[in-house]
């Protein structure tokens, strides 16, 4: 197995996995939109995207993380926004493998932590994260306010 950090040359395969991930969370297929979104993230260094390749070089896992900072610790941390293993590749330890890689990589960089969310109904992911030492948040309450999209300016 081999983990690579995505560049523009890996964009199509990353977009396909990202599209499947979004469909897992009940979003409509949008390969073009996924490709544009990931391309923008790569070009602007907004996120770090990793692919796990099996022994044949086929992609079997996708992860996208966003860098941010913890004011209290005054150190950087990463938000794992997306982790996906295609249905046909599951139950082979790929998610655990890439998670361990991410932990080692960001620990070596001096990051304070990796933070992630998963659906309350995704018990398989929760079991994985807990087996790797992740703890459910019990100190803070998270709030969201969904903002409306402003109208496009008329030019």
Q: Given the structure tokens 């655990």, which residue do they identify?
A: 96
The gap from C-alpha 89 to its chain's centroid, in whole angstroms, comes to 17
Q: What is the pLDDT of residues 38-76, one digit of tens each?
A: 999 999 999 999 999 999 999 999 999 999 999 999 999
Domains and CATH numbers, the chain: 2-131 (3.40.630.30)
* 122 burial level (CB within 10 Å; 0-12, 13-18, 19+): middle
Q: What is the pLDDT of residues 69-82, one digit of tens each?
A: 999 999 999 999 99
Structural contact between residues 51 and 84, judged by C-beta atoms closer than 8 angstroms? no
Whether this model's pTM surpasses 0.75: yes
The gap from C-alpha 134 to its chain's centroid, in whole angstroms, comes to 15
Residue 31 has pLDDT above 80, yes or no: yes
């Amino acid at each position: 197995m081999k983990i690579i950090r995505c560049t523009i040359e890996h964009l199509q395969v990353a977009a396909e996995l990202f599209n499947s991930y979004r469909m897992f969370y009940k979003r409509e297929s949008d390969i073009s939109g996924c490709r544009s979104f990931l391309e923008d993230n790569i070009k602007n260094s907004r996120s770090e995207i990793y692919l796990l390749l099996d022994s044949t070089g086929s992609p079997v896992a996708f992860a996208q993380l966003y860098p941010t900072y913890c004011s209290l610790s005054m150190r950087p941390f990463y938000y794992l926004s997306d982790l996906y293993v295609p249905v046909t590749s599951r139950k082979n330890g790929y998610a655990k493998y890439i998670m361990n890689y991410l932990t080692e990589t960001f620990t070596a960089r001096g990051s304070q932590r990796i933070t992630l969310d998963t659906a309350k109904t995704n018990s398989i992911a929760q079991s994985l994260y807990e087996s790797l030492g992740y703890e459910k948040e019990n100190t803070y309450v998270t709030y969201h306010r969904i903002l409306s999209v402003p109208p496009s300016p008329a030019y």
